[in-house]
Amino acid sequence: MVRIDRIRTSIVLAGIFAIALVFSHDSWDVFRLPKTLLLQAEAILLVGVTLAAILFGARVPRPRWSDPAVAVPLIAFATMIVVTITSTHPALSVKSLGPAAATLVVFFATVAAARDRAWIFVGVPLAAAVVNAILVVLEETHLWMPFGEQAGVSHHLQCTALVGNPNEVGSYLGAAALAGIAAWPTRRTVAPMLIIGLIASRTMTAMIAFAAGVVVMVAISSWKKAIRAAAVAAIAGAILIAVVAPLRHRAGRMVRLAQKGDYNALLTDRVTPFVAASLMFADHPLTGVGPGAFAWHYYDYKLRAQERLPSLRGAWNRGVNYGEVHNDHLQVLAEGGILGYAAFLVAIGALAAISFTIPADASDARQQFARRLAASLAVFWLVLSLAQFPLETPVVRSLLIHFAAVCVAWRSS
């Protein structure tokens, strides 16, 4: 049984490491599909290993249904099944259940494996994150472009590391940097590299979400320190914007757009998908249009959004068919309605609550890590979801779920 446990741990660790690095160069979808498939492979192997263990005499796992760490993910998945049944496009929504089920399996396997282990569950994903942080710095500074460079596409958009587009890189490194900060008392080398990578990705939302997460992390121990940390973060942010040329240019552009009243351009031309998602929610408030159905419905709702706001017809991305809202709050509302959004908020709330269930004077370093990270990761996730889509990005979702599972596993000594 110890061998099966080791196999399971190895699969979990290999999965969280490899998902940050795997890609398929000769595929149209270079990053997202291979990572989704890797997650599915990981889940299949975990189920296979667990069943094999039971076949050879291992105890059948008996979950404590009253434990929020068990109940909340299962309720979230059950909610997804309900909104799939009521979906406006069941065939698409059923196919969305696969990655969701895989995520659930990996979550529970990570909780089980991390219970008896320590810093390897932090070190392995952060090692993969460091590789990506170094890579994005090399790309942004024009030192090395591992996938070559395409003419006609801006250099910044091609700085993908091994994660995906720059927004996904920023989201991923933001979450990793937060975990690096939470591990700071025992592991100090990693966080600075990840923060540099986060800044290099130039993803404003991820940087703001990271700053919010750090403030919450400090607030867990002291509100006064948190206010000081917020002030320091604001000053550091202002200095960064002044010193780092691309950030300075972007900030200047945002000020000019705000003065002109061009709010669509200010929001990087995302008002159309925002309005389309809102209209979908308005038409299907209880259960939404169904998981995975936003992209399919976008075609008609985009035209309705342009009827509501004719100025959107002048947007440069008028011909772009958005696959995601670029705001997970609106995406969940559009695809899952009030039911889906409530499940999302309950899950995030359950994660945040872990920080407040661990005593401030806990002597176990792992418990202290969970106490620092849980609430800050929840706030990071909520803020990031205002302009990014971590739930739809396998690598970001996997990292968030991994650290959420580690927090669950380490909440008790």
Residues that bind other proteins (CB under 8 A): 24, 26-29, 33-34, 36-38, 40-41, 44-45, 47-48, 51-52, 55-56, 91-92, 95-96, 98-99, 295-296, 298-299, 302-303, 318-319, 321, 323
What's the start-to-end Cα distance of the chain, in Å? Answer: 23
Of 34 and 174, which has the nearer Cβ to other proteins? 34
Cβ-contact 196, 137 below 8 angstroms: yes
Cβ-contact 362, 413 below 8 angstroms: yes
Question: Least distance (Å) from other proteins to the CB of residue 41?
Answer: 5
Question: Least distance (Å) from other proteins to the CB of residue 36?
Answer: 6
334 token code pair: 């559009």
Cβ-contact 309, 278 below 8 angstroms: no
Question: Least distance (Å) from other proteins to the CB of residue 322?
Answer: 11
- Backbone dihedral angles phi then psi of residue 228, each to the nearest 5 degrees: -65, -40
Give, as one character, the DSSP assignment of residue 313. G
What is the Cα–Cα distance from 156 to 87, expressed in whole angstroms?
38
Question: Least distance (Å) from other proteins to the CB of residue 7?
Answer: 13
Question: Least distance (Å) from other proteins to the CB of residue 151?
Answer: 16
Question: Least distance (Å) from other proteins to the CB of residue 50?
Answer: 10
Of 8 and 372, which has the nearer Cβ to other proteins? 8
Of 51 and 120, which has the nearer Cβ to other proteins? 51
Of 48 and 285, which has the nearer Cβ to other proteins? 48
Of 14 and 33, which has the nearer Cβ to other proteins? 33
What is the Cα–Cα distance from 328 to 158, expressed in whole angstroms?
24
Question: Least distance (Å) from other proteins to the CB of residue 262?
Answer: 21
Of 3 and 64, which has the nearer Cβ to other proteins? 3
Question: Least distance (Å) from other proteins to the CB of residue 171?
Answer: 20
- Contacts of 232-241 with CB under 8 Å at 24 or more apart are 237/207, 237/211, 240/199
What is the Cα–Cα distance from 249 to 228, expressed in whole angstroms?
28
Question: Least distance (Å) from other proteins to the CB of residue 369?
Answer: 33
- For the chain, count helices (H), then strands (E): 16, 0
- Backbone dihedral angles phi then psi of residue 38, each to the nearest 5 degrees: -65, -40
What is the Cα–Cα distance from 405 to 413, expressed in whole angstroms?
15
Of 306 and 376, which has the nearer Cβ to other proteins? 306
Of 47 and 138, which has the nearer Cβ to other proteins? 47
- What is the Cβ-side half-sphere exposure of residue 337, based on CA atoms within 13 angstroms? 18
Please count the other Cβ atoms lying within 10 Å of the Cβ belonging to residue 33: 14
Task: Find, among 394, 370, 341, the residue nearest to 40 by Cα.
Answer: 394
Cβ-contact 171, 393 below 8 angstroms: yes
Cβ-contact 344, 76 below 8 angstroms: yes
Of 100 and 387, which has the nearer Cβ to other proteins? 100
What single letter denotes the amino acid at residue 276? A
- What is the Cβ-side half-sphere exposure of residue 220, based on CA atoms within 13 angstroms? 29
Question: Least distance (Å) from other proteins to the CB of residue 368?
Answer: 38
Of 297 and 366, which has the nearer Cβ to other proteins? 297
